[in-house]
Amino acid sequence: MTRKIIIDTDPGQDDALAILLALGAPELDILGITCVAGNVPLALTTINARKICELAGRPDIKVFAGCDRPLERTLVTAEHVHGKTGLDGVDLPEPMMPLQPEDAVSFIIDSLRAASDRSITLVPIGPLTNIATALQRAPDIAPKIAEIVLMGGAYFEVGNITPTAEFNIYVDPEAAQIVFGAGIPLTVMPLDVTHKAVTYPEWVEGFRAQGTELGLAVAGWTGFFERFDKEKYGSQGAPLHDPCTIAYLIAPDLFSGRHINVEIEVSSPLTLGMTVADWWGVTDRAANATFMKDIDANGFFALLTERISALPGR
């Protein structure tokens, strides 16, 4: 039985690999891809999502434009990591497939209202603005959501955009607070996991050696993305943050973590956007999220290779 999902994204090279992995997963039924401002502004994330779908040979996927700014704050973007387009590293043609006329938030609401209870999984891999807006506008959709599997936050790895905050949560902490407080089953892929999913030269070169447009794109994106993390962390490659969410949906045994309480800091100028994870159970706050900590990295990269390599391409 396939799992119905909506991917909410701000592509991003690692978002691109997450989308490709999902498109290569017969276990998943992608109802649509909703775009949000984050790594780059909304106008670029909507273009990038369609480029990725076309590259994979899936122009049938519906792509929707969502929120172009956080709920209460000025948009912070990450061109310093992803380049000016968000998908620097390979040149792809402008997409031919159209944006859907419906806005992303309305699509999320309409899809959930038409579904049976606990039947659709939301997979946000950017800031949580679209998801929070949908929950604010239509609180009746919460029971229809099977699970929210998101990339965001950190505990042991602290922050990557400030000393204490991970980028996706920091961009819209108020939205994250709404999502984490909604009483919906949450699975969180924080930096603690994603920093263990680090690319390595043989893996990148394996895609390059395929010689296909798809293989060259994966190698080009990863090569561009790596340069920032190699300089910042001294690592051998780049952490593939967002594909961890899709890998979990396909092969949950690759991951392990704890069901704990996670709160979002929204007021402190020092720790704004921090995911305050009660890993050691030192408070009496009720658990609200499965917060992952470890990954079978070899299994993860084998899964990526197998599924992305099997895509038809255009």
Q: Which residues are catalytic?
A: 241
Q: How far is CA 243 from CA 199, 236, 253, in A?
A: 12, 18, 15
203 touches 167 (CB < 8 A): no
- Dist CA 251 CA 123 (whole Å): 15
Alpha-carbon separation of residue 279 from 137, 189, 241, 265, 283 (angstroms): 32, 14, 20, 16, 10
Q: Choose among 289, 299, 292: nearest CA to 254.
A: 299
C-alpha closest to that of 147 among 19, 4, 11, 309: 4
Contacts of 306 (CB under 8 A, 6+ apart): none
